[in-house]
Structure 1
Amino acid sequence: MRLLTPALRRRGVTSAVVVGLTAALGACAYNETLGRNQLVLVDEGSLIQQSNAAWAQAIRTQPLSRDQSQTTRVRRVGERIVQAAGLTDRSWDYAVFVNDAPNAFVLPSGQIGVTTALLQLVRNDDQLATVIGHEVAHVVARHAAERASSTALAQVGVAAVQGAAGDYGQQAGGLASIFAQYGGLLPFSRRDELEADRIGVDFMARAGYRPSEAVELWRIMAAQRQSGTPEFASTHPSDATRIQQLQQYIAQRGYS
């Protein structure tokens, strides 16, 4: 077996980086909703297939609420948000999962899941629309595809650093991973959350819900949250940041 010299190894690494960057540049496209360019390397069909599989597994393995009025409520609010978002080109499924953690999710393949704890937490349909609007905004913004693409590109970069560093590849790769996580992927994730907040508020307003209740909901969330994770190391912005930016955006748009 022929061993690669350091020069050949570096040349191979450089080629891999060039190929990765070329693919990334080719996959950049302008997202009108976000008002920025977006890196999407992930095939949409594959993402839909994975989402359908994830939903089927959740329905099969997680306890569902037997209270039909809860599902009806989520469907009623969800349908108004989906229409406001312009996503009526696909059929939508709705489910309420019995869970003590207040949470919700929307899948690109057309499914909306809400936990019983979230329904107990929100004080009105406007606040429920806040959560669903935020999650639907992630779909419209293609954040899942973008995040998967950024992660894949970061992995190429880490592998390149390890290859170029030779005998010190493991240590260098570890440092590169830390930088990619805290210098790139997490800030991108926090950016995605704030974008989804703003877009979700727009969907709320179009659907006839009160955007001001988005601020009230996050105040409720802040009061019951017990996480001590600093913002720089979190995938989500702090509650204070989120509330401040929502207030500014709602005022800017003239919402009530």
Structure 2
Amino acid sequence: MILAAPLAGCAYNADLGRDQLLIVQDSGLAAQGEKAWTQTLRAGRLSQDERKNARVRAVGGRVVTAAGLNNRPWDYAVLIDEAPNAFVLPGGHVGVTVGLLDLVENDDQLAAVIGHEAGHVVAQHAAERYSQTMTTKLLLGVAGAAAGTSTDLGRGLKSYGDDASQYLFLLPFSRKHELEADRLGVDYMQRAGYRPREAVTLWRKMKAQAGGSGKPEIASTHPSDASRIAALEAYISSKGW
């Protein structure tokens, strides 16, 4: 019964072309998203630069419409943070840092970032990630209980089960999520009238700025910059863009 339970949560996502394990929907995470957004607005320093805010709203509105997500209100905030970053929260919230706005050379590159974040929403990656984490913990708990805490297997599952699940399952899926969001993002860029190849230019800039963290890809939630650039170039070329 335990092994069959996750299968009951599988659903086909046409945008991704694959099945997803979803024991919760994005709507089920909306409350947490709203809480996190409220905390971000309270704790984060918000830029009052109207030009920056208007730029993010304008580009974001075009990309969100292209992604088919304009059936809900969206909130955008520009955060005073020099690190180039952006994020999306369940419930329709997007944050962009001034560091990212300083890094991008044009609206096409900004659209690449917002398109990527919209891709996470369409793909229900937050819900899938939550579902994967909860299911993995459930299965490890059941396996550990079945093995017994007095056995070597039981002690091993208790000591190393979480680490093993991270490296063998959760981190690879997280990296897959990022590449899927990249692919969906350039689709939305193109529909919105932006140049998809600027997504590659952006990631090359990000790679140059980072200078290489030295962290192996296998131990990271994100693919390496080189992997991301190669995947984007291959996909954009396959589309003739």
Counterpart in the other structure of 2:73: 91
Give the one of 200, 224, 229 matched to 1:243: 229
The percent of aligned pairs where both chains have the same amino acid is 56
Counterpart in the other structure of 2:16: 34
Query: Does 1:196 find its partner at 2:181?
Result: yes
Counterpart in the other structure of 1:135: 117
Q: Note the alpha carbon deviations across 1:159-184, whole angstroms, 9 max, x for none.
A: 12321332143332222222211000
Instruction: Please report how far the alpha carbon of residue 43 of structure 1 lies from its aligned counterpart in structure 2 after TM superposition.
Output: 4.1
Counterpart in the other structure of 2:62: 80
Q: Distance in 2 between matches of 1:158 and 1:234?
A: 22
Counterpart in the other structure of 2:84: 102
Counterpart in the other structure of 1:184: 169
What is the number of equivalent residue pairs in this alignment?
237
Matches within 5 A, 1:57-68: 57-68=39-50
Q: State the secondary structure of the residue aligned to 2:8.
A: helix
Are the aligned partners of 2:27 and 2:90 in contact in 1 as well (CA < 8 Å)? no
Q: Distance in 2 between matches of 1:78 and 1:60?
A: 22
| Matched residue type, 1:153 | T
**Which deviates more from structure 2 when the two are superposed, residues 193-202 or residues 164-173?**
164-173
Are the aligned partners of 2:27 and 2:91 in contact in 1 as well (CA < 8 Å)? no
Length-normalised TM-score, structure 2: 0.95
Instruction: Please report how far the alpha carbon of residue 24 of structure 1 lies from its aligned counterpart in structure 2 after TM superposition.
Output: 1.0
Q: Distance in 2 between matches of 1:239 and 1:23?
A: 36
Structure with larger Rg: 1
Instruction: Please report how far the alpha carbon of residue 238 of structure 1 lies from its aligned counterpart in structure 2 after TM superposition.
Output: 0.6
Counterpart in the other structure of 2:155: 170
Q: Note the alpha carbon deviations across 1:129-187, whole angstroms, 9 max, x for none.
A: 01000011000000000000000011012212321332143332222222211000000
Give the one of 46, 51, 69 matched to 2:33: 51
Unaligned runs of 5+ in 1: 1-17
The structure carrying a bigger helix percent of its residues is 1
Q: Distance in 2 between matches of 1:172 and 1:23?
A: 21
**Which deviates more from structure 2 when the two are superposed, residues 80-89 or residues 39-48?**
39-48
Are the aligned partners of 2:52 and 2:78 in contact in 1 as well (CA < 8 Å)? yes
Length-normalised TM-score, structure 1: 0.90
| Matched residue type, 2:230 | Q
Q: State the secondary structure of the residue aligned to 2:214.
A: coil
Unaligned runs of 5+ in 2: none
Q: Distance in 1 between matches of 2:90 and 2:72?
A: 10
| Matched residue type, 1:229 | K
Q: Distance in 2 between matches of 1:174 and 1:70?
A: 48
| Matched residue type, 2:107 | D
Q: Distance in 1 between matches of 2:105 and 2:74?
A: 25
| Matched residue type, 1:127 | Q
Q: Note the alpha carbon deviations across 1:74-126, whole angstroms, 9 max, x for none.
A: 00100000000001110111110001211101223111110011111111111
CA RMSD in angstroms, aligned pairs only: 1.2
Give structure 1 regions of 4+ aligned residues with deviation exceeding 4 angstroms.
Answer: none
Counterpart in the other structure of 2:203: 218
Gap change, CA 1:115 and 1:195, over 3 Å in 2: same
Query: Does 1:119 find its partner at 2:105?
Result: no
Q: Distance in 1 between matches of 2:36 and 2:46?
A: 15
